[in-house]
Amino acid sequence: MSALEKLGLAALHRLDPERAHDLSLKALAAGLVPLPGKPVTSDRLRLRLAGLDLPNPVGLAAGYDKNARAVAPLMRAGFGFIELGAATPRAQPGNPRPRLFRLTQDRAIINRFGFNNEGARAMAARLATRPKGIPVGLNIGANKDSADRAADFAKVVRIAGDSADFLTVNISSPNTERLRDLQGAAALAALLDGVMSARNSLTTRPPVFVKIAPDLDETALRDIAAVAREARIDAIIATNTTLSRDGAHDPQTAQAGGLSGAPLFNRSTGILARLYLATEGKIPLIGVGGISTTQQAWDKLQAGATALQLYSALIYQGFSLASRIAQELGERLDQEGLTLSDLTGSAAKDWAQR
């Protein structure tokens, strides 16, 4: 991390978390944040995921740029792919403030945003004008006051699907009441049927991913694996934030919302490994939750991930973390004579038993 990045992070951490979040986006969009310009890549780091060509496996998770306000700068921030949103059919304000909390002692955050966004049409318009480069995906959700939340996902696909390189069905946010009920086998099958039908009507037919919660039992995991295979889902993202507070000790721990960051790492990696075994490695998995070091990225890959996503750690280590992890992953792969596919799932059984 450069001295300038350290100074910038220190300044942001003196502000209210949501104000700091918004200010960092404005600084990015204005070109005030030093960026590498292009992602770290090599023959060992390049991969193909669900038909998408990634220069490296380190991506940006959804939630940072909710309204696609800084797409071009984020494409130059060193990530191998980025995900924006979540987008709902209609704009909505989300939950009342305050709704974002730093757990500095735990290197974590709690959020209860509630899908605050400007709506699918606004995001589609911004995505349509993005430059060429790394894959850019859109996380999709349902309006809080919708009478048919399952139908909302298909609506977003029809509105914005042709503007994104991939679409992520977000049924795992804990901040929209009863949204996680859609992870049940019957509800998920019906929802995905509508999403895939809408996707198949698009000109570009982007791949569809599903993002799951880390708070699932074994039966729910097996059901999701079966439904995803039946629906021909292109990848699963594991995992979203957790309602658990295991491993968190900061005074802010009592806040309601989803916890992400360092305390989530073991829980999310265990879910990832069990999902890899449940799908028999036949569906690509994207590992997210608590990654802040190259060793943790390595662990996620060994647990079953094909690619990775970061978010919470960026709040504490800055955007340079993405390039640093990619660079160090490539160096370690070279040293050990391994490929990314050699790593994926190589320790899934061990992680699943933890």
Q: Which of 172, 173, 268, 323 is catalytic?
A: 173
pLDDT score for 1: 83
- How confident is the model over 219-230, as pLDDT tens digits? 999 999 999 999
Domain count, the chain: 1
Mean of pLDDT values over 52-67: 98
pLDDT score for 279: 97
- How confident is the model over 104-136, as pLDDT tens digits? 999 999 999 999 999 999 999 999 999 999 999
pLDDT score for 53: 98
Task: Report the share of the chain in percent with pLDDT over 90.
Answer: 94
- Pair 177, 115: CB distance under 8 Å: no
- How confident is the model over 194-216, as pLDDT tens digits? 999 999 999 999 999 999 999 99
* Cα–Cα distance, 290 to 309 (Å, whole number): 10
232 band by pLDDT with thresholds 50, 70 and 90: very high
Tell whether the model's pLDDT for residue 178 goes beyond 90.
no
Alpha-helix residue ranges (DSSP H) falling in the chain? 3-12, 17-29, 71-75, 120-128, 149-160, 185-200, 218-231, 265-278, 294-303, 312-317, 320-336, 340-343, 348-352
**How does 327-336 read in b/e, with b if 16+ C-beta sit within 10 Å?**
bbbbebbeee
Average pLDDT, the chain: 96
Whether the model clears a pTM of 0.95, i.e. scores above it, the answer is yes
Question: The domain that contains 295 carries what CATH number?
Answer: 3.20.20.70
The contacts of residue 22 (CB under 8 Å, 6+ apart) are: none
173 is catalytic: yes
User: What are 50's two structure tokens?
Assistant: 């669900």
User: What are 34's two structure tokens?
Assistant: 């030093």
Domain, as residue range, for 209: 3-352
237: left (phi over 0), alpha (psi -120 to 50) or beta: beta
pLDDT score for 176: 84
- Pair 211, 141: CB distance under 8 Å: no
